[in-house]
Structure 1
Amino acid sequence: MKSRLTLLLTIVSLTVFAQPAKINNENKPKLVVGVVVDQMRWDYLYRYSERYGTDGFKRLLREGFSCENTFIPYTPTYTAAGHTCVYTGSVPSFHGIMGNSWYNKALKRNVYCTEDDSVQTVGSTSSAGKMSPKNLWANTITDELRLATNFRNKTIAIALKDRGAILPGGHTANGAYWFDNANGQFISSTFYMNSLPQWVQNFNAKHLPDTYLKQGWKTLYPINTYVQSTEDNKSYENPIPGEDNTFDHNTDAITKNKYESFRSTPYGNTLTFEMAKAAVEAEQLGKSGLTDFLTISFSSTDYIGHAFGPNSIEAEDCYLRFDRELGDFLKYLDSKVGKGNYLLFLTADHGAAHNVEFSKEHKLPAGVLDDADIKKNLDVLLESAFGVKQIIAQVINYQIYLNDEIIASSKLNRAAINQFIIQELLKYPGIAKAFEINQLNDLMLPGPLKMMVANGYNQKLSGEIQFVFKPQWYDSWSTKGTTHGVWSPYDAHIPLLWFGWNIKPGKLNRKVYMTDIAPTVAALLRIQTPNATIGEVIEEVSK
């Protein structure tokens, strides 16, 4: 009897251990949705709130958790660095994405953040697809989720901008898709695939950009009700390419480079939402029993902001439309993935400055300086002082790159050159500080600014001299529209909303950082944080 019982237990034991392992995914979301709204200032959450509906931003604020004081912890505050920081939890010092572009001394030219000549465009005959995450040193939270599932889950990344899709998707995305001006369609590169999936081909075949452009862009409401914005016709607004700077925008009449113009309309966001829905359905995101990841970056908010400025009717109308479409998208996720089954965060890659002429119009100090002009002027002064041409290799990202070869071959005194440049930079009315970056520890700088400069300094990729603008000054060749990139709160203070799975309603006023997003997602999913993360978990999000 005893031997029979032993045999029975042995058979049962072997049977149990022979069964394929089942994944208990009850304590994880079916889908993570990362939303980056390009150039969304934090105050946009509330500036237009009286006109927002109940299902978009207000739903996220009502049912989700808002980190009200989220800041970017580095400079420069540009798109590529911002998207990278969100998904790596790291800074340019470690992840290597210095800005949208930076100067490479070895190549003696500017390098674009996602350029890669070793790959080819997929879905177009243009060169817009010769892109990959090759220049990204670190991995991302999307990569870590792929690693945690032994690459059995899916990551899909979508944006109009290549950098808005590629960098969030990381190195292991199943697909990254961005918009090509040449054909008005979403494309990819051979880094990810050799041909577009059938669902992407079908989506492109709808030619939605053409349909949207034919509608024209009129305000959602009577134009005289846009009291949070300046009057419509302002000389410091740029036009939509092929059109003008006033409503109604007759986008149906644009013929030349119409898909480039398309980006500067709110329909770019509409197209992105529709592409995201198509991805959810075709890729069956959230249906595998594993946690999938969908990254979406909305680029048209940035194009419109750059063209018209944050106080324009165009900017207000764009966000009112975005709020509606965001509400519809949340309802879509509720129906397709299940309410409470997906984790969503919404943030921005940077903010934006007020237009300089708008500021002056209201007696606020402001100004612009152009990197190209700074380089041109310094070249003349340096040649006069040291007798050698081309001592400066490049001026970009608020940094001076010196020409090491010329300085060495001419046997010039580098320390003297540095001090000369610093003194000349400080003569500009808009420059508050200039210094050698490698002397940062010895400088008397406010703590937050010193942290941001240090986090943005990369010993292999940075220049030698950094300059810092006064508040409300920015780098531009024009006083029209606006831009971003500096340390000031209008560029560095961003929204951060958490919603859905395991998120309880609440609000946090203590300061947190963009670098905290990835480790917080990692903690919620119980996976490893990305390999260059310097951020910390925002514990209040899930309490």
Structure 2
Amino acid sequence: MAAADKSASSTPAQPKLVVVLVVDGLPQEQIQRYREQFGQGGFRRLLDQGAWFGNAHQAHGITVTAVGHAAVLTGAYPYQHGIISNNWIDPNNLAPVYCTQDTAHTYLGEDTRNEDGTSPANLRVSTVGDELRYASGNRSKVITVSGKDRGAILLAGKTGSAYIFMKKSGNFASSSYYMQSHPEWQKAYHANKPQDRFYGKQWTPLLADAAYASDADDNLVAPALADGGNRFPYTYSSKSGKPDAEYYGKLFTGPYLDEMTLDFARAAVAGEQLGRNPAGVTDVLGVSLSSHDYVNHSYGPESRMSHDHLQRLDRMLANFFDYLDKTVGMDNTLVVLTADHGFPNVPEFAQSRKFDAQRLDSSKLMSALNQHLSEKFGADKLAYKWSVPSVLLDYKQIEQKGLKREEVENSAARFLMTYNGVATVYTRSQLENGAMPDTRTAKLMQRAWHRQISGDLVIVTKPFWQFGSGNRGTTHGSPYTYDSNVPLMIMGKPWIKAGAYGQYAEVVDIAPTLSHILRIRPPAASEGRVLTESLR
């Protein structure tokens, strides 16, 4: 009996609060590259006091924001959770679909467009938060906040509450899916319009010039605009001379939206009394930090703008952790930090390093493909919709003309694989039948493809190529490691063994690991593993 009692007492209590941080668009390599310049309390605290998995991946082939956020707390891949991209084309009616749109619901007290994200209707599975609320009889609270609607909504799951930054007003608002009116703490937070405090402020480099010596030349990654608006110092203002939608929109590219997001998260902790539930009842706070994605899109992860933004975010996280320590206590808190996707270099920068890197114009690709199919089969526009990185074929016309579906698919695929910049193509017949090559890329693209809503020809560019046009900035979405390799850090001394772990891990491993620690059933479609090597 004494041995049993000793064993029971050595089992750590469940965390009072689980904090899930998702840094939008943060490649793992940036954590390593800038590590020595971090302060003591932010990323370095996670690296030193938590478990850090250096070989962690968003292990699906279409690495974009919505898909990556859906993976974090569902533990599922797109073929099950149903979030196949940020936007896609419904193959049944050819209507555009936004990942979190739901016209049955509107933002509370804010203008709402049909394409705005207002609910998790398109998410087909449960999350850790959903399972936790079920297990606790809805006593657990799940609150999420983000600059992007999809960042908050896909972390909140079906039964949490999401708050989203409104570009028109600068408020953090929820939707009628979650509640009929905002709680008093949300109203109190916005009473003095804290979103306006950055008006007229500048974003200037945080560190001495020498700290940025190894970063890419500004003119290479982002040629200067005529008004100099894409160079330090960045001023946050508007043509009207006062805070307005133009000003609030500018806040996304730079440090101040993330600062506000973390401020609002503090207000949620205080207002909802997160982490102060009765013994044995855990709350969840999800925070998606959107700005690094905007900075990397504009300038690339090799830029000093991205470098500086990450240093500023590091200091913000340190302050946030200090707040949690004083309010909930870090020994009562389990922290997870990851990212929804990584980032490739700007193509022009990659070219300067002798790589074959270019932008692939999808409209030209579609035109060339349709010309080929017309010459081959005598039918116009058999490839009739582009839904990056997929082509939708006109199967109705194929049937009417008595053509064989697989013959058209294979002809299209063979042509596309000769197109400059294309590495490989997978057809619907291949994907439906599982007749895929035994390669990493094929495995990731199979996971990313949903039978009911995905396209018919899935295209993978060559390494360092990307869909798009122009001569500045970069984008993501490929199965290559620069897009898939992201941070995965878990910190919480009672439950986690600190250390650097070289084992292969996936973002989908977060959900089953949290479920194990919280002693709840894993989300319905969870396929990850419990990261047992990091557990006490």
Query: Do both share a fold (TM > 0.5)?
Result: yes
Q: Secondary structure in 1 aligned to 2:101?
A: coil
CA deviation after TM superposition for structure 1 residue 320, in Å: 0.4
| CA distance, structure 1, for counterparts of residue 205 and residue 309 of structure 2 | 9
Where do residues 437-448 of structure 1 align in structure 2 (5 Å cutoff)?
437-440=428-431, 445-448=437-440
| CA distance, structure 2, for counterparts of residue 430 and residue 443 of structure 1 | 24
Q: Which amino acid aligns with 1:480?
A: R
468, 480, 483: which one aligns with 1:476 = 468
| CA distance, structure 2, for counterparts of residue 419 and residue 320 of structure 1 | 48
2:234 alignment partner in structure 1: 249
| 1:398–1:468 Cα contact (<8 Å) kept | yes
- How many equivalent pairs are there? 517
| CA distance, structure 1, for counterparts of residue 401 and residue 96 of structure 2 | 24
| Greater mean alpha carbon deviation, residues 330-339 or residues 249-258 | 249-258
Q: Which amino acid aligns with 2:485?
A: H
2:505 alignment partner in structure 1: 512
2:535 alignment partner in structure 1: 542
| Greater mean alpha carbon deviation, residues 461-470 or residues 440-449 | 440-449
State the Cα deviation string for residues 502-530 of structure 1 (Å, max 9, x = none): 12211210111111110000001111000
2:254 alignment partner in structure 1: 265
Distance 1:118 1:249, change over 3 A: same
2:514 is aligned with 1:521:
yes
| 2:221–2:473 Cα contact (<8 Å) kept | no
309, 313, 322: which one aligns with 1:318 = 309
CA deviation after TM superposition for structure 1 residue 227, in Å: 1.7
Distance 1:335 1:163, change over 3 A: same
2:322 alignment partner in structure 1: 331
| 1:237–1:308 Cα contact (<8 Å) kept | no
Where do residues 158-237 of structure 1 align in structure 2 (5 Å cutoff)?
158-173=145-160, 175-234=161-220, 236=222
Q: Secondary structure in 2 aligned to 1:395?
A: strand
Identity of aligned residues (%): 35
CA deviation after TM superposition for structure 1 residue 339, in Å: 2.4
Where do residues 427-446 of structure 1 align in structure 2 (5 Å cutoff)?
427-440=418-431, 445-446=437-438
Q: Secondary structure in 1 aligned to 2:206?
A: coil
| CA distance, structure 2, for counterparts of residue 320 and residue 510 of structure 1 | 27
Q: Which amino acid aligns with 1:434?
A: V
Distance 1:199 1:435, change over 3 A: same
Q: Which amino acid aligns with 2:437?
A: L
Q: Secondary structure in 2 aligned to 1:121?
A: coil
| CA distance, structure 2, for counterparts of residue 390 and residue 205 of structure 1 | 55
CA deviation after TM superposition for structure 1 residue 110, in Å: 2.1
| CA distance, structure 2, for counterparts of residue 190 and residue 159 of structure 1 | 17
Distance 1:243 1:336, change over 3 A: farther
| CA distance, structure 2, for counterparts of residue 108 and residue 439 of structure 1 | 22
Distance 1:106 1:180, change over 3 A: same
| CA distance, structure 1, for counterparts of residue 100 and residue 221 of structure 2 | 35
| 2:117–2:149 Cα contact (<8 Å) kept | no
TM value normalised by structure 2: 0.92
449, 452, 476: which one aligns with 1:460 = 452
| 1:239–1:307 Cα contact (<8 Å) kept | no
| 1:238–1:307 Cα contact (<8 Å) kept | no
CA deviation after TM superposition for structure 1 residue 112, in Å: 0.7
State the Cα deviation string for residues 338-390 of structure 1 (Å, max 9, x = none): 12101010000000000000111221221111323322332233234333223
| CA distance, structure 2, for counterparts of residue 445 and residue 227 of structure 1 | 43
Q: Which amino acid aligns with 1:124?
A: E
Q: Which amino acid aligns with 2:399?
A: A
| 1:400–1:464 Cα contact (<8 Å) kept | yes
| CA distance, structure 2, for counterparts of residue 475 and residue 87 of structure 1 | 29
| CA distance, structure 2, for counterparts of residue 72 and residue 479 of structure 1 | 28
Q: Secondary structure in 1 aligned to 2:197?
A: helix
Distance 1:489 1:254, change over 3 A: farther
TM value normalised by structure 1: 0.91
